[in-house]
A and B are shown apart, each in its own frame.
Chain A
Amino acid sequence: MNWYVLVATLLASSVEFVEALTIVLAVGTVEGWRPALRGTSLALLSLAVLTAVLGVGVLHYVPINVLRGLIGMLLLLFGVKWLRKAILRFAGKTALHDESAAYQKQLKQLQSNQGNTFAAQATAFNGVFLEGLEVVVIVLTMGSAAQAYTSAIVGAAIGFVLVLAAGFMLRAPLAKVPENVMKFVVGTMLTSFGSFWAGASLGVAWPGQDLSILLLIAGYLAVSGLIVSSMKRRQSGGKVAAS
C-alpha cells in the first residue's frame, strides 16, 4: 500500500464528494430523491465508463516514463491551482468556501425552477459528474504515476464512504468538514507529487528518492504559510495607514 497516494486521494476525493453531496442534497430536498438519485447514478455510470476507457487506454499505449512526465505536469497544474485558491482564501482575499451557503444558493436556484424534474436530474448529474471528474483525474494520475492504483482507489473509496455516511446521518450539508484546511493540504500534496513526478521524468535526481516528497510538502506548506502571513500583514498595515 502506498500511504502517500492513499492519504492524498482520500483527502482530495473527500473534498469533491462533499461538494457533490451538497448539490444532490439540495436537489433531493426540493424535487424529491428520485431525480436526485437518477442524476447521481447516471453521472456515476458515465464516470465509470470514462475511467475504464481512459485508464485502460492510457496504461496500454503510453510508456510509463512519458506517462509520469505528463501526469506530473497535470498534477502540478492541478495542485498550484488549488494551492493558490487556498492561499487567497486564508489571506482573506477571497471568501472561505462555505458549504451551507453553497447549499442555500443551490436550493434557491432549484426552487425558482420547481416542478421541472428533468432540470433537477440534470443539476444532480452535472454536480456529481463535474466533481467526480476531478476525483477521476486524481485517482488516475496518482494511481498511474506511482503505479499504485489500489492505494488510489482505496483512498477515494474511503473518502466516498465517509462522506456518504456523514451525509446520510446528518441529511444536511457537511458544513463542519474543514474543507478549506483540507484544500490547503491537498493543494500542497498535489503540487509536491506533481513536482516530484514531472521532475523525475525529466531526469531530476531527487535526494533520498521518495523522501523528497515529504521535503517538498514541508517546503510548499512553509512557503504558502509565509505568503499568507505576509499578505495578512500587508492588509492590516494598509488598514492602519488608511485610518
Chain B
Amino acid sequence: MKWIKEVYDLFVDDPKLAMLALVALAIALVVVHVGAPEVAGLAIFAVVAGALWYTTR
C-alpha cells in the first residue's frame, strides 16, 4: 500500500488545492454543456488562479 501513497504524493501535497483544481474542470464541463464552450477555458483559469491564491494566503 506504500506505493499508493507514493503515487498520491506525486500529484497532491495540498488536498484542498487538488480538489479545487478538479472543481475547476467540473465547472468547465458544466459550462460546456450549458452551451458556452468558448468561456469554459476562462472558468478553468479563474478557478485555478483563485485556488492558488486561497491555498497560499
Contact = CB atoms under 8 A, between A and B. Distances in A.
B38 A207 contact: yes
A79 to B, nearest CB: 9
Nearest to A212: B41
Contact of B55 (A84, A137, A216): A84
B49 A199 contact: no
Given A73-B22, A202-B25, A203-B32, A137 B10 contact: yes
Interface in A107-136: 130, 133-134
A85 B52 contact: no
Contacts of B18: 77, 80-81
Contacts of A81: 11-14, 17-18
Interface size class of A (residues with CB under 8 A): 35 or more
Interface size class of B (residues with CB under 8 A): 20 to 34
Tell me the interface secondary structure of chain B in the complex. helix
Contact of B25 (A84, A88, A198): A198
Given A73-B25, A202-B25, A80 B17 contact: yes
B9 to A, nearest CB: 9
A223 B53 contact: yes
B52 A80 contact: yes
Given A199-B25, A204-B37, A206-B41, A133 B10 contact: yes
Contact of B56 (A133, A137, A202, A227): A227
A195 interface: yes
Contacts of A227: 52-53, 56
Given A76-B24, A77-B22, 14 more contacts: A73-B25, A78-B11, A80-B17, A81-B12, A81-B13, A191-B48, A195-B41, A199-B28, A202-B40, A203-B32, A216-B45, A220-B49, A223-B52, A223-B53
Interface of A: 73-74, 76-78, 80-81, 83-85, 87-88, 91, 93, 130, 133-134, 137, 191, 195, 198-199, 202-207, 212, 216, 219-220, 223-224, 227, 231
